[in-house]
Structure 1
Amino acid sequence: MRKIILAALAAALLSLPAAAAPSKGKAPPPPALSAEQQARLPAIETYLNGIRSLKSQFVQSSDDGAPLTTGTFQLLRPGRMRIDYDGNGNYIVADGRFVYFWDAEVKEQQNAPIGSTLADFLLREKISLSGDVTVTRLAEDDGLLEVTLVQTKEPGQGSLTLVFEERPFGLRKWRVLDAQGRTTEVALQNPQFGVSLDTDQFYFREPGRRRERD
């Protein structure tokens, strides 16, 4: 069950980084982008920073043979996110400080600080494709643009690839490659941007319990 929980967190961009193999030296620097590719990054940043709220159905898949899962993804920047999985009662919620995963089968939760990993990339107040993250790849294929990034200081911990539809430009899916080489993909289905979302749902509470207010 613990393995399933961590895989779900990774798929949500809120992964607890799996332990990488011990390194015998400094990781090699990521490949440099061309000047033309670098010139595209500011427009991508502007688009991402323009997403203040998002609600979408999603399909989650992985390369380890696990069954497809579906659910609802909601984002309210900065800091808040919620993922409800269909059929099993599991959910993930970020409240601005921590990320919580509720395992309905055993009625337990796990949590981690948002900023402890690449987790908070889409949740931060100002998204930047430089600094603590480094873009290692930018590729266009069949009307899609893929942007892959890693943690600048720990590139071996895995990567996040954002996939955009080019016309009209919009985020459509993402892939997480973890330190063990497993890939999980989340594809958005009919995403709605700029929607009004109930802020009360972006707090962790056990199902059936009301949140105690300050």
Structure 2
Amino acid sequence: MTSDRRGLAPRKQPRQVRAELTRERILDAAAHVFGEYGYAAGTTNRIAERARVSIGSLYQYYPNKDAILAELVTRHLDTGRAAVMRHQGKELPRSLEEVLRLFVRVAVDNHLDDPQLLRVMAEQGPRSPELLGKVAAYEAERLVYTRDLLERHPEARVADTEMAARLVVTTIELVVHKVSAEPDRVDLGRFEDELVAMLHRYLAGPPDDRPEGRPGLDAP
């Protein structure tokens, strides 16, 4: 990701339905163009042509393709957060394994975009303080929720729920994104089963019974 903030803000915030539909057309077209051509060849001319708008109309909404990509990343984050919040507002399954399956499935569903588009968003998406703040706030929400769940759940046997929550949240996000962004699609059902099994064994397995004073891996 680039850290250049210049020209990342949309120029025009739609106030009418027609303008909002035009903006959505531009974003949808950009997702297809970046997915098909990559970032370097995903020009604003190609985006405008795919969206069936003039290049002048596109520039009324976005100053450049960096601003469009930043908006796509923001939309990706907001969609994922909304999905998580919907499930957090419902009664969760009783089984810890099924809770983890729900977490993984929500993440997978939010990464069903074209693998090339996912790579473009991760590798080329501009970094701005606003976007980084959104990412940090979203992660903090998930960490608090997951930690509280692990503290209450009778199947969770980890001693450090703070660290466990960080590992679960980070593992799901990074592994799902990495696998989803690979050019060759994997069997998502099998992937889900294996990731859930790995996390469940970690959380519900026997507690650490190493004798006190046993040297760790980094001991001489």
- Structure ranking higher in strand proportion: 1
**Shorter-chain TM-score tier:** under 0.3
Normalising by structure 1, what TM-score? 0.23
Higher helix share: 2
Looking at CA atoms only, which structure, 1 or 2, has the larger radius of gyration? Answer: 2
